[in-house]
Amino acid sequence: MPTGRVKWYDAAKGFGFVTSDEGGDVFLPKGALPAGVAELKTGQRVDFGLVDSRRGPQAMGVKLIDAPPSLSELRRRPAEDLHSMVEDMIKVLESQVQPGLSRGRYPDKRTAQKIAQLVHAVAKEFEI
């Protein structure tokens, strides 16, 4: 059974695409999703059957490899906690990034990676 990652899926349109681990994109219709699953997340790993249709390869009988997020992952952090996280992120950006950028310099690789991790962590809190 081929495996791959969801390239994108639009529940409103009822279809999307999977990028196969063997290469190439595979059409993913709503009817191929497992029972009880209405939507897939970009990057989610799946197993799928493969059928050649008039328009090219099409996924059938999709099975999720990645476990869906647990309830604890879906719970939002209290707004006050998020407020302080954003405030801290702003302080770090103002003190460690902004001065160099104003002089036409990017932060060094190590600092840039730490800043990116910080920004991604805050962004994840907004996505939940």
**Pair 123, 87 in one domain:** yes
In the chain, the number of structural domains is 2
Asked if 32 contacts 64 with a C-beta cutoff of 8 angstroms, the reply is no
**Pair 81, 39 in one domain:** no
Range of the domain at 11: 3-64
Dump pLDDT digits (tens) for 40-76: 888 889 999 988 888 889 999 999 986 555 555 556 7
The better pLDDT of the pair 101, 127 is held by: 101
Highest mean pLDDT among 68-72, 81-85, 104-108: 104-108
Is 70 exceeded by the pLDDT of residue 128? no
Q: CB neighbours (10 Å) of residue 118?
A: 16
**Pair 41, 76 in one domain:** no
Asked if 32 contacts 62 with a C-beta cutoff of 8 angstroms, the reply is yes
Q: Give the domain CATH number at 60.
A: 2.40.50.140
Q: To which residue do tokens 């990017």 refer?
A: 106
**Pair 60, 14 in one domain:** yes
